[in-house]
Amino acid sequence: MPGGFFGGFTESVVDVAPNVRLRVRHGGEGLPVVLLHGHPRTHTTWYRVAPLLAAAGRTVICPDLRGYGRSSAPDPLPDHAQASKRAMAGDVLALLRALGHERAAVVGHDRGSYAALRLALDAPEAVTALAVLDSVPIGEALARADARFAAAWWHWFFFAQPDRPERAILADPDAWYGGNPARMGEENHADHRRAVHDPAVVRAMLEDYRAGLGVDRAADDADRAAGRRVTCPTLVLWSSRDDLEDLYGDVLGVWRPWATDLRGGRIDSGHHMAEEAPEQLAAALSAFLGALGR
């Protein structure tokens, strides 16, 4: 692994919105790529991938999304819009500007993929390429929700309930979120564990899901009704040992109405592909971005 745990990267805190600061690690030289983590991880989930992309000639930017890790957790609003993917996308755009970049490729995993998609739709001039990992758009997932989806992804609906999820999770965060330090890496696991033991972070992560069933779905549905599509090249990758194909069959078929230039395929991994298959993932991302020259 080049340089060990984020070797050669700088960790800093950047103001991106009123009362919102993002913790971020960034390093490397070349065209920028932003890596957005999913739930319940922090930016350190990318510690095996980011140095590989930097070694391949990229400036790599890895923030904690708002409400996650050590980034700000805004107080909840009645409609949960403070945790919307539009708000997260706005943070990423402001972060890019603060670091001196006008445009970047954006990669998102799990919940981070929704923020990445929203940025590509809301600010297409700022996104040179989009990669989404282990997801379909929120509006598409909910439109297809059936008993099988509810059985597999029940947490979407439980996390959206008021108060009870916080009480259940904070009674034993390790039982809820687990994580094997041998598999995740000691530093990554320690960062993850610190986050899930923080009541403010747990509440903010649940607000992400509450926004998902409301304002985020409404934003997706409005874009779909208006015929808006991602206009930059788009890569969809999914874990072969996760359940996306079981739920949706043709994953690219679900994404096809959302992007004008679409490609993708499987990664031989479980859900947390950045931790479980970093070399394969970095190679796929490098090939995609390198072919585009973006």
Encoding tokens for residue 73?
Answer: 């957790």
Per-residue CA distances from 26 to 11, 75, 262 (Å)? 7, 27, 28
Q: Are 86 and 115 in contact (CB under 8 A)?
A: no
Distances (CA, A) of 158 to 83, 168, 206: 17, 11, 9
Tokens of 43: 């930016």
Judge whether 271 counts as a catalytic residue. yes
Can you read off the two tokens belonging to residue 249? Answer: 């069959």
Asked whether the beta carbons of 170 and 199 are under 8 A apart, the reply is yes
Region at 262 (left for phi over 0; alpha for psi -120 to 50; beta for the rest): beta
Q: How far apart are CA 268 and CA 279, in angstroms?
A: 11
Query: Cα-Cα-Cα-Cα dihedral of 6, 10, 13, 15, to 10°?
Result: -120
Q: Which residue has the tokens 């297809």?
A: 144
| Active-site position among 91, 110, 216, 220 | 110
| Residue 101 annotated in active site | no
Whether the CB-CB separation of 224 and 252 falls below 8 Å is answered with: no
Q: Is the Cβ–Cβ distance between 59 and 26 less than 8 Å?
A: yes
CA distance 285 to 122: 23
Residues near 253 by Cβ (< 8 Å), separated by ≥ 6?
A: none
Burial of 109 (0-12, 13-18, 19+ CB in 10 A): buried
Residues annotated as catalytic (active site), given as ranges:
110, 271
